[in-house]
Amino acid sequence: MIRVLLADDQDLVRAGIRLVLKHADDIEVVAEASDGHEAAQLAVRHQVDIAMLDIQMRGTDGLCAAERIARNAPSVRVVMLTTFGEHAYVARALKAGVAGFLLKDSTPQELIQAVRRVASGASVVAPQITQHLIDGYLDGDEQPADPRLDRIADLTHREREVLAMVGTGASNAEIGKKLHLGEGTVKAYVSRMLTKLRCANRVQAAILAHDARLLQDERRPPERV
């Protein structure tokens, strides 16, 4: 069972998300919070797997909560719920090590699948937010070149393939299916790749893959290894 914490200062929003997730027999909302301070406490107290946090809340916001959760409960995977795509929010959330960004107007099926994908170790970034990442946060005219780009040269061919697929938001299972690898083997590749690149999570690696234009390589026929 995937244990979820919901944090939003609007009761109606929390009720709607809770109702959607209730239809999934493998997901349980075990705690709710109306501000970031409470969310950070409940994430630890209830030993949740995923914390779904609104970015902007009265009092302590979701970004502060994500940073506190990263310090106090690093095993909890955080997904930011937002109607915003501002680069400043994205940059700060990435530094907090969030596992994904999801728009509040996502469909019920998208919401359920996002929870499952994050729980399985995948990153989830709504397409609209991904576009902001590419156009803004990853824009070389606005941001200095990421020094981690040089480390991509240290990756093996297979690790580069895995990184490219992580850049598309693929889960370990999806990567394994395409590359004809076991899910455990993919997990090991992802772990080594994150270590070599010094990325805190898959979201940061996905952005790096975009910046290095590896997604263009991912669309080409795979080389033999």
pTM, whole model, 2 decimals? 0.69
Q: What is the tens place of the pLDDT at every residue in 76-105?
A: 999 998 876 555 677 677 777 888 888 888
Instruction: Tell me 67's DSSP state.
Output: H
Instruction: Specify the fold of 2-137.
Output: Rossmann fold (3.40.50)
Helix axes 157-167, 183-197, angle to 10 degrees: 90
Bridge partners for 27 per DSSP:
2
- Which CATH number describes the domain made up of 147-218? 1.10.10.10
Range 54-63 average pLDDT: 89
**For residue 225, is pLDDT > 70?**
no
SS3 210: helix
Q: Hey, where are the domains in the chain?
A: 2-137, 147-218
Phi, psi of 103 (to 5 degrees): -80, 145
Phi, psi of 201 (to 5 degrees): -160, 180
Q: How confident is the model at residue 219 (pLDDT cuts 50, 70, 90)?
A: very low
Q: Nearest CA to 69 among 84, 57, 58, 80? A: 80
